[in-house]
């Protein structure tokens, strides 16, 4: 039976969690800058550590990495953004004026005839695809119009990343300094373990997503599927969402193929390729990049995605699972850390 | 309890009338740093490190203050690292046997076994009087080995040398006790 003190602690923790969630929700942009900076510093810090081990001052190593990151971002933006924009534009052209207009209605008729026993009469494929691709195009335009906001976001994130890289250890030391003596060693141990596991987890999911992005792009290019870069990018980002991500990427690739060719001839090949990529990810890439201890239960993943989508839309769905992974890492390190020290005092 | 200890104790807080003293003490930051470096230089683990290397070590150490009678760590706690006494005295006690094993003073260190394993502490460390210590912990040593391998390797070598010396002495003591036991059995 739960004692009153334990009940009070649980209630306080729930209140604290609710308060934290509310704060995150209300100052989303600032939290986003901090989160991206923290994520970037976790990813970059091994390189800064390596440069430091080669006798380079940490401030200089952090500056170099910051400039390199900025250069990488600009290179990606310069070469990839127009390319992606062009591919989305071409896709929209195909939908509006291309062969799809002629082929889709006949395909729709075939499907309606086949499924007539289910009472299916009209599917409105053309309108639905036009709406979807049009929305995609609008989103690209919205991003372009919000370029000033994006630049501010990037600059602020880079500055925050620089300071987290340079003074991260000082920050941790300052944090631990205010902990009472009684809990000092325990806090230090837990903080270190969280730091280590979180870094490994974030680097892992990013590396996994990048590998899948590159493999998908190459596979689509080899299969001669148009918009292969766009599909690769979708696969990379979608890979952040387990279970739902890979089928979504396969669906996007199949849709592009159908829109372009006007038939389903390449769809089976695309589906087989995506299944093979999935197998490659599950059997080789993920075991090498992501620790098994951070794996979440499928039910947790589904509810996390639903909550993320409900709170923050598409972006919420994308980042819900990585954030849940982070929460799991922090919670499990806290739990095991406290358990190890439970006999104390 | 000394006034200096009280004013710098994070748990005790800084009374307003002592803020001026605290600000003034910043002017003597260099002297304090020099004192710390002198203290560290005298510790066998940091033997052979240059001034800049000692400063790098000092940056990863955790400075803590303990009141008389306060535990620094307790027997059975998971070990995380070692402590170097900057000021005051520390009593190493065996709680299971209710006895004091030794009493250590300025410049001496304890808990170094935990730098290499995660076994529980074999004794408790208790501040005998108001004490200031530097904590040096396993994660920080690993980070030092990653970022400044030249310093980290020297520290690990010195720690290993100290532990090897202790192992050698323990072996000798073990041999002496065995031979004493053997002689006693034979005499019977």
Within 13 Å, how many C-alpha atoms sit on residue B75's CB side? 14
Does residue A329 surpass a pLDDT of 60?
A: yes
Q: Do A185 and B139 touch (CB under 8 A)?
A: no
**What is the pLDDT confidence band of residue B67, given thresholds at 50, 70 and 90?**
very high
Distance (Å) of CA B104 to CA B10, B11, B78, B86: 23, 24, 22, 11
Gap between the terminal Cα atoms of chain A: 23
**What is the pLDDT confidence band of residue B169, given thresholds at 50, 70 and 90?**
very high
A90-94, B60-64, B94-98, range with the lowest pLDDT = A90-94
Does residue A124 surpass a pLDDT of 80?
A: no
- Residues of B in Cβ contact (< 8 Å) with A171: none
d(CA B159, CA B157): 5
User: What is the per-residue pLDDT for B68?
Assistant: 93
* A306 token code pair: 């639903």
* A232 token code pair: 């690769």
**Closest Cβ–Cβ partner in B62, B78, B137 for A340:** B78
* A246 token code pair: 């890979």
Residue of B nearest to A195 (CA): B139
**Over residues A67-76, mean pLDDT:** 82
d(CA A327, CA A33): 18
**Over residues B152-179, mean pLDDT:** 91
Q: Give every CB contact of residue A126 below 8 A, 6+ residues apart in sequence.
A: A100, A101, A104, A105, A108
What sign does the CA torsion over B141, B146, B148, B150 have? Answer: positive
Does residue B135 surpass a pLDDT of 90?
A: yes
- Residues of A in Cβ contact (< 8 Å) with B118: none
pTM of the model: 0.67
What is the b/e burial string over B104-124, where b = at least 16 CB atoms within 10 angstroms of the residue's CB? beebebbbbbbbeeeeebebb
- Residues of B in Cβ contact (< 8 Å) with A192: 137, 139
**Over residues A113-129, mean pLDDT:** 67
**Closest Cβ–Cβ partner in A173, A196, A343 for B76:** A343
Per residue, the 3-state secondary structure of chain B, as one string, reads CCHHHHHHCCCCCCCHHHHHHHHHHHHCHHHHHHHHHHHHHCCHHHCCCCHHHHHHHHHHCEEEEECCCCEEECCCCECCEEEEEEECCEEEEECCCCEEEEEECCCCEECHHHHCCCCECCCEEEECCCEEEEEEEHHHHHHHHHHCHHHHHHHHHHHHHHHHHHHHHHHHHHHHHHHHHHHHHHHC
Most confident of A92-96, A147-151, A271-275: A271-275
- Residues of A in Cβ contact (< 8 Å) with B62: 173, 176-177, 184, 188
Most confident of A42-56, A75-89, A148-162, B118-132: B118-132
**Closest Cβ–Cβ partner in A49, A173, A344 for B62:** A173
* Cβ contact A86:A246 at 8 Å: no
pLDDT tens for each residue of B141-163: 988 898 888 899 999 999 898 88
- Residues of B in Cβ contact (< 8 Å) with A341: 77-78
- Residues of A in Cβ contact (< 8 Å) with B136: none
* B9 token code pair: 């104790």
Quick count: other Cβ atoms within 10 Å of Cβ A278? 17
Interface confidence, given as ipTM, is: 0.73
In this complex, is the C-beta atom of A51 within 8 Å of any C-beta atom belonging to chain B?
no
CA dihedral angle for residue B57, residue B59, residue B60, residue B64, rounded to 10 degrees: 110
Residue of A nearest to B114 (CA): A185
User: What is the per-residue pLDDT for A27?
Assistant: 64
pLDDT tens for each residue of A227-268: 788 888 888 888 877 666 778 888 888 888 887 777 778 888
Q: Do A185 and B80 touch (CB under 8 A)?
A: yes
Within 13 Å, how many C-alpha atoms sit on residue B93's CB side? 18
d(CA A18, CA A127): 42
Q: Give every CB contact of residue A80 below 8 A, 6+ residues apart in sequence.
A: A229
CA distance B51 to chain A (A): 16
- Residues of B in Cβ contact (< 8 Å) with A333: none
Please report where in the chains the tokens 């925050």 appear, as a residue. A160
**Closest Cβ–Cβ partner in A53, A173, A345 for B149:** A53
| More confident of the two residues A121 and A143 | A121
In percent, the amount of chain A with pLDDT more than 70 equals 73
| More confident of the two residues A341 and A9 | A9
CA distance A72 to chain B (A): 25
Q: Do B62 and A188 touch (CB under 8 A)?
A: yes
**Over residues A60-75, mean pLDDT:** 85
Interface size A-B, in CB pairs within 8 Å, comes to: 56
User: What is the per-residue pLDDT for B18?
Assistant: 47
Q: Do A52 and B148 touch (CB under 8 A)?
A: yes
**Closest Cβ–Cβ partner in A49, A178, A185 for B146:** A49
Gap between the terminal Cα atoms of chain B: 56
pLDDT tens for each residue of A161-218: 889 988 888 888 888 888 888 888 888 888 887 787 778 777 888 888 888 889 998 9
**What is the pLDDT confidence band of residue B5, given thresholds at 50, 70 and 90?**
very low
Residue of B nearest to A196 (CA): B139
CA distance A82 to chain B (A): 40
d(CA A242, CA A121): 35
* A89 token code pair: 């534009």
- Residues of B in Cβ contact (< 8 Å) with A177: 10, 62-63
Chain mean pLDDT for chain A: 77
In this complex, is the C-beta atom of A184 within 8 Å of any C-beta atom belonging to chain B?
yes
Residue B7: burial class (beta carbons within 10 Å; 0-12, 13-18, 19+):
middle
* B187 token code pair: 């005499």
d(CA A233, CA A222): 16
User: What is the per-residue pLDDT for A137?
Assistant: 55
- Residues of B in Cβ contact (< 8 Å) with A197: none
| More confident of the two residues A121 and B10 | A121
d(CA A203, CA A64): 20
Does residue B77 surpass a pLDDT of 50?
A: yes
What is the b/e burial string over B68-94, where b = at least 16 CB atoms within 10 angstroms of the residue's CB? eeebbbbbebbbbbbbbbbbbbbbbbe
Residue of B nearest to A344 (CA): B77
In this complex, is the C-beta atom of A188 within 8 Å of any C-beta atom belonging to chain B?
yes
Mutate to test the interface with B, among A181, A191, A196 (most CBs of B within 10 A): A181
In this complex, is the C-beta atom of A169 within 8 Å of any C-beta atom belonging to chain B?
yes
Most confident of A58-62, A228-232, B22-26: A58-62
Please report where in the chains the tokens 């850390």 appear, as a residue. A337
Within 13 Å, how many C-alpha atoms sit on residue A265's CB side? 7
**Over residues A64-87, mean pLDDT:** 78
Stated as kind and residue range, the H or E segment containing A113 is helix A100-114
Quick count: other Cβ atoms within 10 Å of Cβ B126? 22
In this complex, is the C-beta atom of A5 within 8 Å of any C-beta atom belonging to chain B?
no
- Distinct helix (H) and strand (E) counts, chain A: 12, 0
* B80 token code pair: 């995380």
**Over residues B78-93, mean pLDDT:** 91
- Residues of A in Cβ contact (< 8 Å) with B9: none
CA dihedral angle for residue B121, residue B145, residue A291, residue A73, rounded to 10 degrees: 140
- Residues of A in Cβ contact (< 8 Å) with B58: none
């Amino acid at each position: 039976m739960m004692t009153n003190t334990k009940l009070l602690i649980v209630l306080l923790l729930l209140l604290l969690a609710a308060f934290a969630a509310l704060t995150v929700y209300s100052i989303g942009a600032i939290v986003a800058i901090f989160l991206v900076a923290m994520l970037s510093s976790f990813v970059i810090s091994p390189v800064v550590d390596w440069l430091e081990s080669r006798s380079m001052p940490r401030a200089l190593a952090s500056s170099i990495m910051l400039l390199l990151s900025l250069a990488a971002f600009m290179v990606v933006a310069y070469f990839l953004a127009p390319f992606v924009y062009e591919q989305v534009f071409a896709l929209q052209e195909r939908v509006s004026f291309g062969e799809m207009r002629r082929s889709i209605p006949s395909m729709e008729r075939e499907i309606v005839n086949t499924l007539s026993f289910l009472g299916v009469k009209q599917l409105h494929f053309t309108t639905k695809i036009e709406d979807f691709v049009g929305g995609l195009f609008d989103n690209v335009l919205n991003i372009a119009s919000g370029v000033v906001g994006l630049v501010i976001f990037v600059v602020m994130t880079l500055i925050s990343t620089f300071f987290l890289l340079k003074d991260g250890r000082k920050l941790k030391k300052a944090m631990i300094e205010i902990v009472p003596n009684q809990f000092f060693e325990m806090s230090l141990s837990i903080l270190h373990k969280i730091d280590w596991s979180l870094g490994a987890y974030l680097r892992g999911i990013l590396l996994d997503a990048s590998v899948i992005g590159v493999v998908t792009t190459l596979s689509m290019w080899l299969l001669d599927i148009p918009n292969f870069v766009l599909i690769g990018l979708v696969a990379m980002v979608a890979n952040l969402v387990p279970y739902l991500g890979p089928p979504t990427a396969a669906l996007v690739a199949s849709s592009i193929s159908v829109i372009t060719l006007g038939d389903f001839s390449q769809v089976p090949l695309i589906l087989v390729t995506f299944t093979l990529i999935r197998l490659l990810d599950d059997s080789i890439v993920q075991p090498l990049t992501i620790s098994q201890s951070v794996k979440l239960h499928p039910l947790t993943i589904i509810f996390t995605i639903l909550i993320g989508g409900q709170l923050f839309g598409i972006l919420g769905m994308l980042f819900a699972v990585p954030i849940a992974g982070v929460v799991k890492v922090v919670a499990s390190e806290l739990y095991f850390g406290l358990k190890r020290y439970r006999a104390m005092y | 309890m000394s006034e200096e200890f009280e004013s710098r104790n994070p748990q005790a807080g800084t009374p307003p009338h002592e803020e001026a003293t605290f600000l003034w003490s910043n002017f003597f930051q260099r002297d304090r740093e020099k004192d710390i470096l002198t203290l560290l230089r005298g510790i066998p683990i940091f033997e052979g490190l240059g001034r800049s290397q000692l400063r790098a070590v000092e940056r990863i150490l955790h400075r803590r203050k303990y009141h008389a009678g306060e535990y620094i760590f307790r027997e059975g706690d998971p070990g995380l690292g070692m402590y170097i006494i900057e000021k005051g005295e520390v009593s190493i006690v065996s709680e299971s046997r209710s006895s004091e094993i030794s009493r250590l003073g300025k410049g001496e260190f304890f808990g170094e076994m935990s730098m290499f394993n995660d076994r529980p502490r074999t004794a408790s460390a208790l501040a005998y009087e108001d004490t200031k210590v530097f904590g040096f912990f396993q994660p920080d040593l690993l980070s030092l080995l990653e970022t400044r391998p030249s310093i980290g390797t020297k520290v690990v070598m010195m720690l290993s040398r100290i532990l090897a010396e202790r192992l050698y002495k323990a072996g000798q003591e073990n041999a002496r006790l065995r031979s004493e036991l053997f002689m006693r059995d034979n005499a019977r």
